[in-house]
Structure 1
Amino acid sequence: EVGVYTSPGKDATIDREKWWRMGKPMPIAAAYGIDPLLFLVAATSLPKTECEYDYYSGINGAPIEVFISDLTGLPLPARAEIVLEGFLYPDETFSEGPFGEFTGYYGRPSGATPFMRVERVRYRDNPTLTCALMADSAANECGLFWAALRSAGIWADLQKLGVPGIKGVWSIPEAAGWGITVVSIKQMYAGHAAQVMALAAQCTTGAYFGKYVIVVDDDIDPSNIGQVLWAMATRSRPAQSIDILRETWSTYLDPSLNPPEIRPWGSKCLINACMDYRFIKTFSKRTRLSKDAYDKVVARWQELGLSGTPPAVSVFEEETSSGRVT
């Protein structure tokens, strides 16, 4: 017997309830030691009609190799190191947990959990387990994995929704890859930043569990936390720039929500760290280094007795055709 916890609203929970409403056990398989990319895709919020195997194959550039189990009828990854197969029977539970989770904490408190009656074990000799590290803080391998695909998923969702001006999306790994998402935009119209905040927070990829969405201008690198904090400090107005969404989709794995019974319902903080669009043409100009001065310093770096290499600078003051610095 192996416990199978699934979050409310996730595909596995929906499928399980469908089988149980029919009074039938749900066929299930657990694969261990899989391609890290498959693990990453499996943990990503995709549309309910989209197959994770297809999504994986698209990213990988080749179809995934699977075989159909004669026991459960499920397509199983042929390259997995270990596969357990069995069934979840209605109303059969036992107490398990808690386990270390992606948040950097032990997750859902010990409680009643459905379990799989294991009927078959497939394995390779000397199997290797991948994606098994859930230790220390959330900035472990899982945080980076989920940051990459969650960022790409939210960006793709915004594009599908027809939102223009998206220049970058980053879900911060140090926030477990889920907790904080930053979106960089080229502001194009009134309310643009507010639109992006709301949709990034509640699109297919972004709706589950994320707590903070921060929108910044296109001169801010969303993956540079220093730049993001600077934009928040100098462009946001706390009384006007922060909105709260309540009763959003959360998870039993969130340690901040107590008692645990309330954990399926969360909240989100939306922070507009963009320049106020109403005054964007007259907003205070950034202080920037001139390209000419930078080039002169770089040319004389060794002569001046400075150690190391010159700091990299990617954005400089712009000069107009008249030579005026802007």
Structure 2
Amino acid sequence: MNHPVNHPKDLRGHIAALEALGDLKRVRREVSWDLEAAAITRLSYERTAPAPLFENVGGAEPGFRLMGAPASLSSAPGKPLARVALSLGLPPELTAAQLVDTLAATRDLPPVPPRLVPRDQAPCKQNVLLGEDATLERFPIPRVHEQDGGRYLNTWGIIVARTPDGSWTNWSIARIMMIDGKRMTGLVIPPQHIGLIWQEWVKIGKPMPYALVQGGDPAIPFVGGIPLPDGVDEAGYIGALHGEPVEVVKCELSDLEVPAGAEVVIEGHLSVERSAVEGPFGEFAGYVPDEASHQPVYTVECITHRDAPIWPIVAEGRPVDEFHTVTGVGIAADVLHDLRAAGLPVTTAWSPLRAASHWLVLTVPANWRELLPDTDSDTDTDSDIDSQEFVHRIGEVMAGGSRGGRLHARVFVLDDDVDPADDTDLLWALATRIHPTDRAEVWHGPIHPLMNCYHPDERAAMTGPVVLHDGLQPAPGQGRMPHSSFAEAYPAPIRRRVLDHWDDEA
């Protein structure tokens, strides 16, 4: 595995990389934090336009900025995943399969712990606000959707939390809503990691110290949004990905450590009680539900920030935005790692971005029957039967311990003559290889509570079905049909002649 070279160390480096690629738009006119900045960001997703950097935010302190769409699809021609790749410090031309392979392979590397730097080497310490000065009212915190329950300050930042015994430090993303200048609330739901760690503090009856980080190394929010196993520190994973440690600095009020290059760091405690009403919020499925819930309260006790800070925002909604790119790539990498670790031959995994993280596609090589361990294929003459056995084994791994294995409602298993990241290729394969009713296996168990395709009672109980669809073709030489495509339906001399004369004038 090749480590990234000259990867951006902070959000400003990421912005510079996007600008060099022609994938950044500086918005210099005055823009309001109240819906307008989010509306521009949302339209940039839907038009696959450059990422907007808002340099004049009305109602905020002079020089305080917002940045939208930091890791969505890129406007750079021929490089749709450039923002995603650059977020990870990887070349912008990487394919979907290469991105997923890199993240899956990083799981098996030894973690590289973060490196503690002095305060005077940490840009996030340029301004330290305490007491009444530590108020959210100073910052251009956006209202994202008109129907939201409030202004959402955390859509692309990480929450730093640690178990009471100090054995696990977690960096994760969860939405957080501003209540007022000194209080916030957000989703704290087990089995999400922030919920698991918070429960440990509830058991001992003490509020949980936290730090909320905006900005920093662009890999930080990306990795904070992918499903690493319980107990794995994201900082060590990012260090392994980059081949060098992440630089961190001590918080002002606790022993927590935060990325030294962060734009803004908010410190305080998370209450033991669920005493605040949070939501609704327009989520990744593409709808704004009318649901709210009682959640704990984050107190704001200290804020540190860089000069002229940049606050990143994600205007989450219909695909494709950062939830779909980050969660899609991250969960696919998690599942791919676990299936390969179980010895199953899988070419790649991909969560189709426009399916709003509700589908997962796995592709396998044509000779998977020879590669599948512990199978005597000589005893099976019906290729459909042994393909169903293969799909069942995949289901066992995904249901039995893979953290990402139950985070999609439907899983499609296809041959790798299809590129699952090519929507045209994928739609054709799903339409022609997935039987309307047969060759599907239902696995009941835990589900993601924000998946819109489930019934309300299933979402409330966080339990429901995940369906695995067997779309595998017969073995080569046993009835597999060639494609009626340019690449397969015509001999090589004809193809060459057609291509040689393709640009000839009429």
Q: Say whether the fold is shared (TM-score over 0.5).
A: yes
Residue 142 of structure 1 is matched in structure 2 by 323
Q: Tell me which residue corresponds to 1:113.
A: 295
Code of the residue aligned with 2:352 in structure 1: it is I
The structural deviation recorded for 1:205 is 4.1
CA shift, 1:118, in A, is: 1.6
Written as runs of structure 1 = structure 2, the 5 A alignment for 1:8-27 is 8-27=190-209
Question: Within the alignment, does 1:170 sit opposite 2:350 as a pair?
Answer: yes
Deviation, structure 1 residue 54: 0.9
Structure 2, unmatched stretches of 5+, are 1-182, 373-385
Give the deviation of 1:21 after TM superposition: 0.9
Q: Aligned-pair distance for 1:22?
A: 0.9
CA distance in 2, matches of 1:125, 1:260: 47
Confirm or deny that 1:183 pairs with 2:384.
no
TM-score (norm 2): 0.55
Q: Relative to structure 1, is the Cα distance of residues 282 and 173 closer, same or farther in structure 2, using a 3 angstrom cutoff? A: same
Question: Which secondary structure state, in structure 2, belongs to the residue aligned with residue 239 of structure 1?
Answer: coil
Tell me the SS of whatever aligns to 2:219. Answer: helix
Bigger mean CA deviation after superposition, 167-176 or 104-113: 104-113
Alignment match of 1:209 (pick from 395, 403, 407) = 407
CA 1:65–1:303 in structure 2 vs 1: closer, same or farther (change >3 Å)?
closer
Aligned counterparts of 1:108 and 1:27: Cα–Cα separation in 2: 31
SS in 1 for 2:315: coil
Query: Equivalent residues in 2 for 1:4-153 (5 A)?
Result: 4-106=186-288, 109-130=291-312, 132-153=313-334
In the TM superposition, what whole-angstrom CA distance separates every residue of 1:277-312 from its partner, at most 9, and x where no partner exists?
5xx53214213232221011112324473xxxxxxx
Corresponding residue SS for 2:310: coil
Task: Tell me what 2:419 maps to.
Answer: 221
Q: Structure 2: which amino acid aligns with 1:120?
A: C
Q: In the alignment, is the contact (CA less than 8 A) between 2:336 and 2:349 conserved in 1? A: yes
Shift of 1:258: 1.4
Q: Cα offset for 1:91?
A: 1.6
Identity rate of aligned residues, in percent?
Answer: 25
RMSD: 2.4
Separation in 2, partners of 1:231, 1:293:
26
Shift of the 208–26 alpha-carbon distance from structure 1 to 2, 3 Å rule, reads farther
CA spacing shift, 1:78–1:36, aligned 2, 3 Å: same
Q: CA deviation at 1:260?
A: 8.1
| Residue aligned with 2:302, SS | strand
Question: Distance between the aligned counterparts of 1:252 and 1:232, measured in 2?
Answer: 25
Once the two structures are TM-superposed, the CA of residue 83 in structure 1 deviates from its matched residue by 1.1
Secondary structure of the equivalent of 1:90? coil
Alignment correspondent of 1:160: 341
Whole-Å separation in 2 of the counterparts to 1:108 and 1:36: 32
Give the SS at the match of 1:238: coil
Conserved in 2, the CA contact under 8 Å of 1:216 and 1:228? no
TM-score in terms of structure 1 length: 0.83
Distance across 1 between alignment mates of 2:229 and 2:499: 50
Q: Distance in 2 between matches of 1:4 and 1:74?
A: 20
Once the two structures are TM-superposed, the CA of residue 272 in structure 1 deviates from its matched residue by 1.0
Query: 2:207 corresponds to which letter in structure 1?
Result: P
Does the 8 Å contact 1:250/1:266 carry over to 2?
A: no
Amino acid at match of 1:179: H
> Residues of 2 paired with 1:201 and 1:174: CA distance?
24
Q: Give 1:183's aligned amino acid.
A: L
Using CA pairs below 8 Å that are at least 6 residues apart, which structure has the higher relative contact order? 2
Aligned equivalents of 1:261 and 1:227: distance in 2? 32
Cα separation, 1, equivalents of 2:306 and 2:291: 33
8 Å Cα contact 1:32/1:81 also seen in 2: yes
What is the letter of the counterpart of residue 295 of structure 2?
Answer: T
> What letter corresponds to residue 283 of structure 1 in structure 2?
G
1:295 aligns with 2:491: no
CA distance in structure 2 between the aligned counterparts of 1:11 and 1:302, rounded to whole angstroms: 55
Asked if structure 1 preserves the Cα contact closer than 8 Å seen for 2:335 and 2:398, the reply is yes
**Any conservation in 2 of the 1:81–1:129 contact (CA below 8 Å)?**
yes
